[in-house]
Amino acid sequence: MSYRLGVDVGGTFTDLMLINEETGATFTAKVPSTPEDSSIGVLNGVARICEESGIDPTKIDRVMHGTTVATNAVLQGKGAKVGLVTTAGYEQTLQVARSFCPGGLGGWVTFNKNPLLAPLELTIGADERMDASGNVIRELDEAALRKSLEKLKATGQVEALTICFVNAYINGDNEQKAAKIAREVFGDTPISISSEVVPEMQEYERTETTVMNSYVRPEMQLYIDNLQNALHDRMGEELQLSLLRSDGGLASARSAADSPVNMLMSGPAGGVTGAIYFCSRAGYDDILTFDMGGTSTDVALIQDSKARVRRETYVGDVKVRAPSVDVRTVGAGGGSIAFVPELTGALRVGPESAGAVPGPAAYLKGGDKPTVCDANVVLGYLPSDVQLGGKMQISKEAAEKAVQTIADALDIDLLEAAEGIIRVANEAMFGALRLVSVEQGYDPRDFALVCFGGAGPLHGNAMGILSDAWPVIIPPGPGVLCARGDATTTVQDEATRTYIQLAGDVSKEQLLADLKALEERAAQALIDDGIGKQDHEVVYQADVRYVGQAFQITLDFTEADLQERGLDVVTGQFDAEHEQLFSFKLSDGHEILMIRAVVKAKPADLALPEVGSADAELKDCIVHESKFYYDGAWHDAPLYDRAKLHAGIVVPGPSIVMEMDSTTVILPGHEARVDEIGNLLINPVK
CB 234, CB 56: distance < 8 Å? no
Restricting to residues 197-216, name those near other proteins by CB under 8 A: 201-205
Residue 503: which of 578, 590, 565 has the closest Cα?
Answer: 590
Label residues 116-129 b or e (16+ Cβ within 10 Å = b): bbbeeebbbbbbbb
For the chain, how many helices (H) and strands (E)? 17, 35
- Among the candidate windows 13-21, 47-55, 107-115, 657-665, which touches other proteins by CB under 8 A? 107-115
What gap in Å lies between CA 493 and CA 491, rounded to an integer? 7
CB 573, CB 555: distance < 8 Å? yes
SS3 195: helix
DSSP 440: G
Neighbours of 316 (CB within 10 A): 11
Q: Is 175 in the site for other proteins (CB under 8 A)?
A: no
Q: Is 437 in the site for other proteins (CB under 8 A)?
A: no
Q: Is 108 in the site for other proteins (CB under 8 A)?
A: yes
Pairing of strands 655-659, 13-20: unpaired
Q: Which is nearer to other proteins, 112 or 587 (CB)?
A: 112
DSSP 115: P
- Phi, psi of 396, deg, nearest 5: -65, -35
Q: Is 408 in the site for other proteins (CB under 8 A)?
A: no
Considering CB under 8 A, how many residues would be counted as binding other proteins?
Answer: 70
Q: Is 419 in the site for other proteins (CB under 8 A)?
A: yes
- Among the candidate windows 65-73, 105-113, 215-223, 246-254, which touches other proteins by CB under 8 A? 105-113
- Phi, psi of 485, deg, nearest 5: -60, -45
Q: Is 582 in the site for other proteins (CB under 8 A)?
A: yes
For 437-542, where are the alpha helices, taking DSSP H only?
456-467, 481-487, 508-528
Q: Is 347 in the site for other proteins (CB under 8 A)?
A: yes
Minimum Å gap between C-beta 117 and other proteins is 14
Q: Which is nearer to other proteins, 46 or 424 (CB)?
A: 424
Q: Which of 2, 22, 96, 357 binds other proteins (CB under 8 A)?
A: 96
Minimum Å gap between C-beta 371 and other proteins is 17
Q: Is 584 in the site for other proteins (CB under 8 A)?
A: yes
Q: Is 427 in the site for other proteins (CB under 8 A)?
A: yes
Tell me: cis bond preceding 358? Omega within 30 of 0 counts.
yes
Residue 662: which of 453, 446, 466, 352 has the closest Cα?
Answer: 453
Q: Which of 583, 587, 633, 686 binds other proteins (CB under 8 A)?
A: 583
Q: Is 90 in the site for other proteins (CB under 8 A)?
A: yes
What gap in Å lies between CA 20 and CA 37, rounded to an integer? 28
Q: Is 634 in the site for other proteins (CB under 8 A)?
A: no
What gap in Å lies between CA 168 and CA 518, rounded to an integer? 18
Minimum Å gap between C-beta 110 and other proteins is 5
What gap in Å lies between CA 358 and CA 137, rounded to an integer? 59
Q: Which is nearer to other proteins, 109 or 560 (CB)?
A: 109
Q: Is 136 in the site for other proteins (CB under 8 A)?
A: no
Minimum Å gap between C-beta 320 and other proteins is 15
DSSP 472-486: EEE-SSGGGHHHHHH
Minimum Å gap between C-beta 471 and other proteins is 21
Q: Is 229 in the site for other proteins (CB under 8 A)?
A: no
Minimum Å gap between C-beta 354 and other proteins is 18
- Among the candidate windows 17-25, 125-133, 475-483, 616-624, which touches other proteins by CB under 8 A? 125-133
Tell me: cis bond preceding 471? Omega within 30 of 0 counts.
yes
Q: Which is nearer to other proteins, 46 or 406 (CB)?
A: 406
CB 421, CB 332: distance < 8 Å? no
- Among the candidate windows 156-164, 235-243, 433-441, 447-455, which touches other proteins by CB under 8 A? 433-441
Q: Is 91 in the site for other proteins (CB under 8 A)?
A: yes
Pairing of strands 336-339, 662-666: unpaired
For residue 467, count CB atoms less than 10 angstroms from its CB and return exposed for 0-12, middle for 13-18, buried for 19 or more.
buried
Binding mask 285-324 for other proteins (x = CB under 8 A): ----------------------------------------
Q: Is 272 in the site for other proteins (CB under 8 A)?
A: no
Q: Which is nearer to other proteins, 202 or 558 (CB)?
A: 202
- Phi, psi of 331, deg, nearest 5: -80, 55
Which residues are within 8 A (CB) of 606 and not within 5 positions of it... i.e. 6 or more apart?
A: 19, 21, 24, 488
Q: Is 101 in the site for other proteins (CB under 8 A)?
A: yes
Q: Which is nearer to other proteins, 481 or 555 (CB)?
A: 555
Minimum Å gap between C-beta 202 and other proteins is 4
At how many degrees (to 10) do helices 456-467 and 414-436 cross? 70
For residue 685, count CB atoms less than 10 angstroms from its CB and return exposed for 0-12, middle for 13-18, buried for 19 or more.
exposed
Q: Which of 99, 156, 188, 237 binds other proteins (CB under 8 A)?
A: 99
What gap in Å lies between CA 247 and CA 269, rounded to an integer? 7
Q: Which of 32, 77, 107, 532 binds other proteins (CB under 8 A)?
A: 107
Q: Which of 51, 52, 121, 385 binds other proteins (CB under 8 A)?
A: 121
SS3 684: strand
Q: Which is nearer to other proteins, 497 or 646 (CB)?
A: 497
Binding mask 493-532 for other proteins (x = CB under 8 A): -------x--------------------------------
For 361-448, where are the alpha helices, taking DSSP H only?
372-378, 396-410, 414-436
Q: Which is nearer to other proteins, 254 or 585 (CB)?
A: 585
Q: Which of 25, 222, 388, 410 binds other proteins (CB under 8 A)?
A: 410
Q: Is 608 in the site for other proteins (CB under 8 A)?
A: no
Minimum Å gap between C-beta 385 and other proteins is 28
Q: Which of 36, 112, 237, 619 binds other proteins (CB under 8 A)?
A: 112
CA distances from 520 to 126, 197, 493, 592 (A): 33, 17, 11, 21
Give kind and range of the element (H or E) at residue 350.
strand 348-353
Q: Which is nearer to other proteins, 89 or 603 (CB)?
A: 89
| Residue ranges binding other proteins (CB under 8 A) | 88-93, 95-101, 103-113, 119-121, 129, 131-132, 137, 166-167, 169, 201-205, 341, 343-348, 410, 412, 416, 419-420, 423-424, 427-428, 431, 434-435, 438-439, 500, 546, 548-551, 581-584
